[in-house]
Structure 1
Amino acid sequence: MKSLRSQISFNTVTSIAVISTLIIGLSIYVYEKLYVEFVSAEVNAIGENIAVDLIDFIDDPAGSFYQTEVLLRLGEYDYAETAYILNNDGNVLNMYIGPAGINGEKTPLGPSKEERDGKVSNGVLPENLSSFSHVDKSIASLALGLHQIQNKVVVVKTIGESTFPLGKFILVFNLQDALRDSRKRYITLVTPSVAFLIILALLISVRAQRKVFQPLNTLIKTMDSVVDDKNYDVKVEEIDREETLSLSRAFNNMMSNIKAQSEANAEKNALLQKQQSQMEKLANFDALTGLPNRQFLMHLLTRELAKSRMNHSELGLLFVDIDGFKSINDSFGHDIGDKFLIHISAAMTNILSKDHTLGRLGGDEFIVIVPNLPSKQALEDTANKLVDAVNRTHIFSSFRFDSSASVGLALASECGYELSNLVTNADVAMYKAKDDGKARYTWFSEAMLANTQRKVLISTRLSQALEGDAFYLSYQAKVDSDENVIGFEALLRWHDDVLGEVSPAEFIPIAEQTEKVSLISMWVIKRVGIEAPQLIESFGQHIVISINLSPMDLNSNKLTQFIISEMDTDRLPSKNLEFEITETAYMNNFNVANSFFTAIKKHGCRLALDDFGTGYSSLGYLTKFDIDTLKIDRSFVNDIGSSKQSELITKTIIEMAKSLNFSVCAEGVETHEQARFLKQNGCHVLQGFLYSRPAPLKNIIASSLAR
């Protein structure tokens, strides 16, 4: 990269060279002008002198000795080309050919080819003068005086008096050669001086530039020191020159601003680092318990698995679930539930080794990562400690809680050190521990693998079912106390080419885990929009079609907007619709559920609370439920006639619902005894196999026609 100094030096030298060249060119031009004038004057004088000297010999015979002697005096002039002595008749009496005439090119004013080929020598007449007895007419016709023709000076003089001429003397002088040689001499003499002047000018320029650029160099060094030392508390001297003064002031002002900004940035960076530390903690650690969260655990587990695979070591994973935590949360509220989780987390942390990592996946689920596992027995010992730490009476905040933990154990080597498989295996083992009675640990085994593989296959086939429209709806009738059909519950069914008939109880939880349940709900709603008009036409405008929603649907704004859009476009008959959600889902998503229900009810839909009585909910919440119907769980209906306690609970639910102006629907009615009890106690709607089994739409329509 060129520096400013070198650029200025180059421009200076170039300017000097160009100006010097122009001056030399001009001086050569002037010199040549003066030289031509000088030579012309000299040639004129020579011609005048020789013409005078030839007066005495003009009458001699042509080529006489005395004429030749006079002409040979021209030999001392290197650029004398030719000279002619002519009589009054224009005949050549004698002639002279000088070096310039012999060596030069043939011109109308010069000698002929024979003359130049050696028939004449320098200053000597030819042996046969008659062959040169002519002169070019352009010369012979020239007037007396001095002429410049084709870079030659020609002087024509009268021999004798002008009033009584005896003849003519013509001298041709080669001005071109004279100028060329003179120019060379001039350039040779001038060039060293010019070169010296250019070098001198360059030296002076460099010295001047150093002095001028010294403040700028000082500024550059100061700026370099700022870059190296990161010290912005520096200033440069403000020199009393307009440009450098402005630059120095600007630099000093810039340093002051940078210093102020640097100090402000330092404060901001300190704050940002603090905030970043807090954000990293929030991003990687559970806000409630302070344990590593799911994100951190998955990253850590990925790294530990890679190390174990590389080192051929074993890694164990424990999947821990707190038994009965939901009942604590529902019975005592989330605040107590949170404090219980903090207490349990501390209890588990205290019994674990430093190389074990305990983290919270979410809710009441925890995992423990055990790297460099020496044996399976070591993992069992850890699991035993966890079960013992949780499986006891816990006292805090004036409460006593009996709890337990179900633990699933899995090894990394048994699943190829794959993260998702390891977590899944431990999770499956934990659920097996729950199924076996809770408060215990269970190893993952190959026997559990088929169930896991089926879940994976169901998850995969679910996507294909959505794309291939493999679902269908069955409808179960609802009747009033007079056994008139007043509505239907739309029940989702799935027949898969590989799996066959798959129960909703099996694929819905998997759909919820894989976040496909809202897509399935959209399919159901769209299908109800297609089939509802046929049901309404067959059974009357009064019937109500119920649609079940998953707890995850309550958090899906996309699904809410889809339902509203379908009703706004009249594809769904809102006045004939009822959405059902379980009591447990409602309680776990209370605020969200109310927001969802409010948006739906604005369009005239009905809302039902399903499986009531199984969710351990506080009865105080019933006053806050924005619903239309309570559905009594089938577990109470099944025991009617065999359990007085169930009958009492069922009767109480009906009376309570009626006092709150809720409609009551009993599901799972299978006997006349159950139906009679429900009717006698004022149940509004009955649903069960006693009246109708779930059937496809075409069968339902056919049965209505048969009546």
Structure 2
Amino acid sequence: MFKSIKTPIAIMLVCAVLVISAMVTWFAADEHEQLYTESVKSDLAALTRNLAADILPLMESGSTQTHAISERLKNLSSYQHILVARVYDTNQTVLHSQLGAAGRKYGVPEKLPLADIINSPSGAYLIDNQLIASSRIARNGVTYGYLLIMNDIETPVRKSWQALLLHVSPLVFITLIITIAIGLYWLNLLLNPLARLSGFTHQLSQTKDYTPRFKTRLRGEVSVLGHNINMLLDTIEAELTINDEQNQTLMEQQQTMTRLANFDSLTGLPNRQFVMDNLRLELARARRLNNDIAMMFFDLDGFKGINDSLGHETGDLILIEVADRVSSMLREGDLVARLGGDEFIIVPDRDVTDVCLQNLADRVIAAFLEPFHFRGLALTVGVSIGIAKASDAHFELSQLMSNADLAMYRSKARGRGTSTIFTNEMVESHKRKLSIANSIDQALANNEFTLYYQPKVARDGELVGFEALMRWQHPDFGLVMPGEFIPIAEQSGKISSLTRWAIERACIDLPLLQSVFFNKFRVAINLSGHDLRHSGMFDLIHQIFTQQQVNPEYIEFEVTESAYLENFAFANKFFRRLSNMGCAISLDDFGTGYSSLSYLTQITIDTLKIDRQFVRELNTSHRSRLVTGSIIDLAKRLSLTVCAEGIEELSQWDYLLNHGCDHVQGYLFSQPLPLEDVALLPARFEFGPDHVSRLSGQ
């Protein structure tokens, strides 16, 4: 209602002054009226007594001297407020009545209240707002009559009021003005700091600036209030400073959390969450616009071996360099992200035709042809790329990722440094792989696996060993070969169960083989890279040997060159323990991986096996003959036994025999056979034309 506290206080002040002034004036007027009335009463009583004394001689004479009394009463005409004067005898009969000036003007009552006052002492009385004075006309106790004079009191009092107000009003008005002015001045003087304080706080609320402070020279409550507000502002400003610092810290933390949530902390590339969120939006947009999106999924070939042998620090440096290489060769708008570990994806921004995607994949593969140089080492890392399109995945992100993953593993199966574009046929193949992976445990429980044995033959034709090869008679898929289910078992983490079964089965079959073949021989069992990393594998082998009472000298373990070198530290320790126990160690597929002559001087092996791809090309490739001869010569120089696999023609055996190969195996001698058929094999093979023909026809 009021914008300032001054207004209601000023109104209250003025009203208070007016009320007080009115009350003072009223009390003064009332006092004046009383004093005036008493004065008139005293004068009228004295006049009545004096006039009664004048009339007394006339009343004592015993005769009514009306004229003389009238003359005496006429003297009252000079009194302007006397209404009437009457003389009564002792019987209260009016002897004479004289109207005064006021009586002639206003009139008088016919009957005066004589009876009410004759019994009262002489004096003046106020009866019915009229002043009546009475006096006995008596001497020495003898009453001769009564004199009553009625005086108009209302008119003189009113005039006295008017005169008083006329005289006092200017003074009262001036006093009121001065009092109100002084009051307002002091009010303004006292409330100005409060108004300033109110304006100060209003300014703070509007500007949100809490640095100004309230200043006043006055003392009192306003000064204390201003001081308290300043202290409150100090506290607020300090809290705001702390709050600003905390907000800044929170913003920095939020930015850091956003960066950590959306970007890989090692490479700085977008991470899985970021790229997945963006791909969901892009897939929805592409579906609406009837466009297509492609994804290239790749991981690093050989990265795990480097990580295990050289440490995670070197692995991290390689990942950083991989991110830089891939980012530098992509076009503007292309997205590259790290999903985790050594897995990356690329989302091309432009043309997603097969030709363009293949060209981009070739550029990525080419970017990894140059080795990575760290700490004086030249490390070669390849990539296997899987390419998938959103249209083939019905624009579903999970399906798109699955398709790209399938294509990538198809590339790995084809060899390092390759790329594969997804086709629907891969889905059926993947379903078969899943079914096989899920059936392994049940197959072990149902004894669906069997061991086949392929003989190894020495230079003189003597049977010197067997390679134990697993076969799986699947209830739905029929005969499943190791080349299919072994990689699946490795990927699904079930290879160790198969290895345990193979070792145990070979140890169970060994007594029967010993009962048929009396010469010294070894049964070769294959181990995978996963087995080498299995911490309890040696104890498991030792336990099986103990349970089956097997002489370790009858057992040979084969491991591929790549598996040995990728797990070098574990493999070397593991095979040294097996060798000390009496087992023989064979390095399989020698020459197909990243062979290094320096490794051959450090590893614990007894035999080098020449891969079948070199044997197959002996008759057609001069290069294969050179490599094969070099491997045999290298093995001889290192005092190692050399064995060649995949012998199918007599000419191949002749070449190997002439170059000093110690052992051979292949269809030329026998295909892998179940245990019951192995007993039919001769202890020594003859190499005449008829015999070779017979064996080849088995």
TM-score, normalised via structure 1 length: 0.51
Q: Give the superposition deviation at 1:622.
A: 0.5
Report the counterpart of residue 338 of structure 2 in structure 1.
Answer: 359
Q: Give the superposition deviation at 1:283.
A: 14
Task: State the distance in 2 between where 1:615 and 1:430 align.
Answer: 20
Task: State the distance in 1 between where 2:641 and 2:612 align.
Answer: 17
Report the counterpart of residue 467 of structure 1 in structure 2.
Answer: 445
Report the counterpart of residue 469 of structure 2 in structure 1.
Answer: 491
Instruction: Structure 2: state its 5+ residue gaps.
Output: 1-248, 686-698
Q: Give the superposition deviation at 1:291.
A: 5.0
Q: Give the superposition deviation at 1:470.
A: 0.8
Report the counterpart of residue 605 of structure 2 in structure 1.
Answer: 627
Q: Give the superposition deviation at 1:405.
A: 6.0
Q: Give the superposition deviation at 1:509.
A: 1.0
Q: Give the superposition deviation at 1:469.
A: 1.7
Report the counterpart of residue 145 of structure 1 in structure 2.
Answer: none
Report the counterpart of residue 391 of structure 1 in structure 2.
Answer: 366
CA contact (8 A) 1:630 1:657 kept: yes
The change in CA–CA distance for 1:593 and 1:347 in structure 2 (over 3 A counts) is same
The change in CA–CA distance for 1:380 and 1:319 in structure 2 (over 3 A counts) is farther
Task: State the distance in 2 between where 1:395 and 1:309 align.
Answer: 36
Work out whether 1:344 is the aligned partner of 2:319: no
Return the match for 2:531 from 535, 539, 553: 553
The change in CA–CA distance for 1:352 and 1:674 in structure 2 (over 3 A counts) is same
Q: Give the superposition deviation at 1:445.
A: 2.6
Q: Give the superposition deviation at 1:638.
A: 2.2
Report the counterpart of residue 513 of structure 2 in structure 1.
Answer: 535
For the pair shown, which has the larger CA radius of gyration, 1 or 2? 2
Report the counterpart of residue 667 of structure 1 in structure 2.
Answer: 645
Report the counterpart of residue 205 of structure 2 in structure 1.
Answer: none
Task: State the distance in 2 between where 1:661 and 1:452 align.
Answer: 45
Task: Output the aligned Cα RMSD.
Answer: 4.6
Report the counterpart of residue 509 of structure 1 in structure 2.
Answer: 487
* CA offset digits 1:408-430 (Å, max 9, x no partner): 33346754777764333102334
Matched letter for residue 325 of structure 2:
A
CA contact (8 A) 1:493 1:503 kept: yes
CA contact (8 A) 1:608 1:630 kept: yes
Task: State the distance in 2 between where 1:681 and 1:706 align.
Answer: 21
Task: State the distance in 1 between where 2:399 and 2:684 align.
Answer: 54
Q: Give the superposition deviation at 1:341.
A: 5.3
Task: State the distance in 2 between where 1:333 and 1:670 align.
Answer: 44
Matched letter for residue 520 of structure 2:
H
Q: Give the superposition deviation at 1:440.
A: 8.0
Question: Equivalences for 1:292-371 in 2 at 5 Å?
Answer: 297=272, 317-321=295-299, 342-350=320-328, 351=330, 356-359=335-338, 361-363=340-342, 365-368=343-346
Residue range with higher mean Cα deviation, 319-328 or 617-626: 319-328
Matched letter for residue 541 of structure 2:
I
Matched letter for residue 453 of structure 1:
K
Report the counterpart of residue 105 of structure 1 in structure 2.
Answer: none
Matched letter for residue 634 of structure 1:
R
CA contact (8 A) 2:462 2:684 kept: no
Q: Give the superposition deviation at 1:705.
A: 9.7
The change in CA–CA distance for 1:529 and 1:422 in structure 2 (over 3 A counts) is farther
Matched letter for residue 407 of structure 2:
A
**1:602 aligned counterpart, secondary structure:** helix
Matched letter for residue 337 of structure 2:
L
The change in CA–CA distance for 1:559 and 1:301 in structure 2 (over 3 A counts) is farther
Task: State the distance in 2 between where 1:425 and 1:389 align.
Answer: 20
* CA offset digits 1:71-111 (Å, max 9, x no partner): xxxxxxxxxxxxxxxxxxxxxxxxxxxxxxxxxxxxxxxxx
Question: Equivalences for 1:541-690 in 2 at 5 Å?
Answer: 542-690=520-668
Q: Give the superposition deviation at 1:636.
A: 2.0
Determine what percentage of the aligned residue pairs are the same residue: 38
Q: Give the superposition deviation at 1:355.
A: 8.9
The change in CA–CA distance for 1:437 and 1:465 in structure 2 (over 3 A counts) is closer
Task: State the distance in 2 between where 1:527 and 1:283 align.
Answer: 51
Q: Give the superposition deviation at 1:593.
A: 0.7
Q: Give the superposition deviation at 1:549.
A: 0.8
**1:557 aligned counterpart, secondary structure:** coil
Question: Equivalences for 1:195-234 in 2 at 5 Å?
Answer: none
Q: Give the superposition deviation at 1:704.
A: 5.3
Q: Give the superposition deviation at 1:511.
A: 1.0
Question: Equivalences for 1:71-86 in 2 at 5 Å?
Answer: none
Return the match for 1:445 from 423, 427, 440: 423
**1:366 aligned counterpart, secondary structure:** strand
CA contact (8 A) 1:387 1:404 kept: no
Matched letter for residue 481 of structure 2:
S
CA contact (8 A) 2:280 2:397 kept: no
Matched letter for residue 391 of structure 1:
A
Question: Equivalences for 1:8-47 in 2 at 5 Å?
Answer: none
The change in CA–CA distance for 1:315 and 1:459 in structure 2 (over 3 A counts) is farther
Return the match for 1:698 from 655, 676, 693: 676
Instruction: Structure 1: state its 5+ residue gaps.
Output: 1-269
The change in CA–CA distance for 1:568 and 1:304 in structure 2 (over 3 A counts) is farther
The change in CA–CA distance for 1:582 and 1:406 in structure 2 (over 3 A counts) is closer
Q: Give the superposition deviation at 1:451.
A: 2.0
* CA offset digits 1:233-261 (Å, max 9, x no partner): xxxxxxxxxxxxxxxxxxxxxxxxxxxxx
Task: State the distance in 2 between where 1:675 and 1:282 align.
Answer: 62
Residue range with higher mean Cα deviation, 413-422 or 497-506: 413-422
Matched letter for residue 368 of structure 1:
I
Report the counterpart of residue 476 of structure 1 in structure 2.
Answer: 454
**1:624 aligned counterpart, secondary structure:** coil
Task: State the distance in 1 between where 2:684 and 2:631 align.
Answer: 36
* CA offset digits 1:657-701 (Å, max 9, x no partner): 122221111111222222223223322212111222100000112
Task: State the distance in 2 between where 1:395 and 1:584 align.
Answer: 18
Report the counterpart of residue 496 of structure 2 in structure 1.
Answer: 518
Matched letter for residue 422 of structure 1:
L
The change in CA–CA distance for 1:567 and 1:390 in structure 2 (over 3 A counts) is closer
Report the counterpart of residue 409 of structure 1 in structure 2.
Answer: 387
Q: Give the superposition deviation at 1:394.
A: 5.1
Residue range with higher mean Cα deviation, 481-490 or 341-350: 341-350
CA contact (8 A) 2:463 2:683 kept: no
Q: Give the superposition deviation at 1:527.
A: 0.9
* CA offset digits 1:375-434 (Å, max 9, x no partner): 974999787556435535759759999998664333467547777643331023345568
Task: State the distance in 1 between where 2:578 and 2:355 align.
Answer: 51
CA contact (8 A) 1:317 1:426 kept: yes
Residue range with higher mean Cα deviation, 338-347 or 459-468: 338-347
Task: State the distance in 1 between where 2:327 and 2:425 align.
Answer: 32
* CA offset digits 1:317-354 (Å, max 9, x no partner): 32135689999999x99999986654332132343668
Matched letter for residue 531 of structure 1:
D
Q: Give the superposition deviation at 1:582.
A: 0.5
Task: State the distance in 2 between where 1:378 and 1:645 align.
Answer: 39
Q: Give the superposition deviation at 1:538.
A: 1.1
* CA offset digits 1:204-243 (Å, max 9, x no partner): xxxxxxxxxxxxxxxxxxxxxxxxxxxxxxxxxxxxxxxx
Q: Give the superposition deviation at 1:356.
A: 3.6
Q: Give the superposition deviation at 1:441.
A: 6.1
Count of aligned residue pairs for this structure pair: 423
